Structure 1
Amino acid sequence: MNLKELAEHLNLSQTTVSRALNGYPEVSERTRLRVQQAARDLNYSPNTRAKSLATGRTHAIGHVLPISDSHEMVNPVFGDFIAGAGSVYSQNGYEIVISLVKDSDEAEAYRSLHARGSVDGIIVHGPRMGDTRIPLLRELGLPFVVHGRASHETGAYSWIDINNQRAFQRATEFLIDLGHRRIALLNGLEFMDFAYRRRSGFTTAMTSRGLTPDPALMRGEEMTEVSGYRSAREMLALDQPPSAFLASSMITAIGVRRAIHEAGLVMGRDVSVITHDDDLGYLKNGHSVPIFTATRSSVRTAGEGAAAMLLDLISDPTLPPQSQLLEADLIIGASTGPAI
């Protein structure tokens, strides 16, 4: 069914039907509801190109993902974020445009999206401490929301983020309260803003309790199962091994668990482990009883929040920059216990 046929079915003009579907205020609420109900009943879907011409918008949101040798953006965390964001886009008639580019081509990708008018807005992923994408997008005039923050960026911008510092401070304090003193931090790459904040939370908790973080027990690497396994294996072989690990990713924590098992130790009894990001759609942390003690904040919820924030900014360009800080819950699982 096309717009003309829908209009004839309702005995209305095509202009009225189009305006009702696109939320124009001059259409009465009664007519708008009647048109929307008929569109649902008859499975009417507006032509995207025609809708763009009518509204001046593409009804598409851009996600530019750099392909890097040092940092892989396409992972289970990204998948959950896109699932959350995508549900909001779908409800509001928006589509996703994902561009995979080399690190060196990322700035040009944003310029190209803007020049071609391909998208109405951008979600920025994986912000660094000083992130050049933020001033670039501000200069281009593209509405954007950052998933995370950039500590060295002084200008105002819209963002949604987890309170990474507080989450890791709280997790470290929990381990200290259990009697652990040699605590290892297996962090993400520390030029990334989230990892910088997590290290800060870890070191703040240690020093405030009179403990000195041991550099030999601190790593900042790509968050993979292999890196978790390798780091934990090396640390457990030290003359003074750690009695607990704090891992920045569920994937890393799985590698830590493998290393503990290979060392003939029992996780939760001999060595404690706390992980972050355990609330993933396809990588669940156990069932009724969590496998890992974890700092939990739903990535899917962050995706929903970022998408809703961006669509608000697109709908009303006069809005000031928006922000939302999400707190993480501490979930107690079987992977932690008193120091022995």
Structure 2
Amino acid sequence: MNLKELARKLDLSPTTVSRALNGYPEVNEATRERVAAAARKYNYQPNTRAIRLATGRAMAVGHVIPVATRHEIVNPVFADFIAGAGEVYSRNGYDLLLSVVPDDDEERAYRELKSRGTVDGVIVHSPRMQDERIPLLHDLGIPFVVHGRATDSARPYPWVDVNNRRAFQRATEFLLDLGHRRIALLNGLEFMDFAIRRRAGYEAALAAHGITPDPAIMAAEEMTETCGHRLGVALLSAPNPPTAFLVSSMIMGLGLRRAIEERGLRMGRDVSVIIHDDELSYLRNGDDVPIFTATRSSVREAGRQAAAMLIGLIRGEAGAPRELLMEAELIIGQSTGPHRG
């Protein structure tokens, strides 16, 4: 089906249908939704080359990934985020442009995307405190959405994030209600915003119960199986080991479980564990009954939401959202139980 045939089905002019599909702000929302629904029904695929010529847009979204020290490209969370975002790009006729660069070339990569006009907007990954990319992208005039938030950023910016502070506060409270008082935190690297917020939630829950956080049972490292195992071995071998652990990823949690089992202990009976579960498509937390008790938030859905927000900003849609805070569920699995002391 071509554009004229779709327009006849809708009893609209081809110009109106084209403008609705391409996000022109003068098309009202009801018409835009009606056209989009018909395009899906009849499997209409817009001519991207024609859209580029008509609008001057690149019809592409950029993702700049620094890999030298942060290993983002091999992070399974990134893969699921891209899968979710890609669904939205494809539905709206956008391509994905992935630029993999050394850490110190990140600024140059953004400047080249702007100068070449190869993308209409970008998604910013793994925000940090006072993230320098935010003022850079403002100055370059590139529409962007941040996956996460950047603590202490001096300028406002659009973002999609999970409520990490609240998630880890609830998880810590759950362990406290089970009678645990010596609760370890195995966190991600704490120059990352999500890790800062998770520590804050953990510490807030402890403080509300009159417990002073103990630095000896708090760690911030890369969220790998190896780190989870090494930290678990060290903490469980200590004279006063934790009875429960709060862990920032399932992968790190798998390493911790290995350490628990090596000591002849049983997870959920002798040691309680709560992880953060990004609901990854190929690393499932059990089937009918979750293996790990977890704070759960779908990173694929975050990808969909961030992509939709960015396309709305690119199109200049009136009332396009600029902030979205997703709440995490607390899923009860087999890895937690009452304190046995």
- TM above 0.5: yes
Could you tell me which amino acid in structure 2 is paired with residue 232 of structure 1? G
The size of the alignment, in residue pairs, is 330
Matched, 1:314 2:311: no
Q: Percent identity?
A: 60
User: Is this contact kept in 1: 2:7–2:17, CA < 8 A?
Assistant: no
C-alpha distance in 1 between matches for 2:241 and 2:37: 64
C-alpha distance in 1 between matches for 2:256 and 2:263: 11
**1:157-306, aligned counterparts within 5 Å?**
157-306=157-306
Shift of 1:65: 0.6
Distance 1:164 1:94, change over 3 A: same
Could you tell me which amino acid in structure 2 is paired with residue 295 of structure 1? T
C-alpha distance in 2 between matches for 1:311 and 1:321: 11
C-alpha distance in 2 between matches for 1:38 and 1:192: 41
Which residue of the partner structure matches residue 17 of structure 2?
Answer: 20
SS of residue paired to 1:213: coil
User: Is this contact kept in 2: 1:21–1:35, CA < 8 A?
Assistant: no
Distance 1:44 1:180, change over 3 A: closer
Distance 1:35 1:334, change over 3 A: closer
Task: Provide Cα deviations, 1:48-69, integer angstroms capped at 9, x if missing partner.
Answer: 3332111111111111111122
Shift of 1:21: 3.5
Distance 1:279 1:44, change over 3 A: closer
C-alpha distance in 1 between matches for 2:260 and 2:175: 17
Which residue of the partner structure matches residue 131 of structure 1?
Answer: 131
Could you tell me which amino acid in structure 1 is paired with residue 128 of structure 2? R
Q: TM-score scaled by structure 1?
A: 0.89
C-alpha distance in 2 between matches for 1:177 and 1:7: 63
Greater alpha carbon shift after TM alignment, 65-74 vs 222-231: 65-74
**1:34-49, aligned counterparts within 5 Å?**
45-49=45-49
C-alpha distance in 2 between matches for 1:225 and 1:21: 50
C-alpha distance in 2 between matches for 1:35 and 1:230: 52
Could you tell me which amino acid in structure 1 is paired with residue 102 of structure 2? K
Which residue of the partner structure matches residue 69 of structure 2?
Answer: 69
C-alpha distance in 2 between matches for 1:9 and 1:89: 21
CA RMSD across the alignment = 2.8
Shift of 1:9: 12
Matched, 1:89 2:127: no
Distance 1:34 1:158, change over 3 A: closer
Could you tell me which amino acid in structure 1 is paired with residue 164 of structure 2? N
Shift of 1:199: 0.6
Could you tell me which amino acid in structure 2 is paired with residue 162 of structure 1? V
User: Is this contact kept in 2: 1:66–1:103, CA < 8 A?
Assistant: yes
Which residue of the partner structure matches residue 119 of structure 2?
Answer: 119
**Structure having the higher Rg:** 1
C-alpha distance in 2 between matches for 1:35 and 1:274: 42
Could you tell me which amino acid in structure 2 is paired with residue 121 of structure 1? G
Could you tell me which amino acid in structure 1 is paired with residue 265 of structure 2? L
C-alpha distance in 1 between matches for 2:69 and 2:6: 56
SS of residue paired to 2:74: coil
Could you tell me which amino acid in structure 2 is paired with residue 117 of structure 1? G
Gaps of 5+ in 2: none
User: Is this contact kept in 2: 1:71–1:222, CA < 8 A?
Assistant: no
Distance 1:17 1:208, change over 3 A: same
Distance 1:36 1:299, change over 3 A: closer
C-alpha distance in 2 between matches for 1:38 and 1:262: 56
Shift of 1:181: 1.1
Could you tell me which amino acid in structure 1 is paired with residue 228 of structure 2? G
Shift of 1:108: 0.6
Q: TM-score scaled by structure 2?
A: 0.88
Gaps of 5+ in 1: none
Shift of 1:130: 1.2
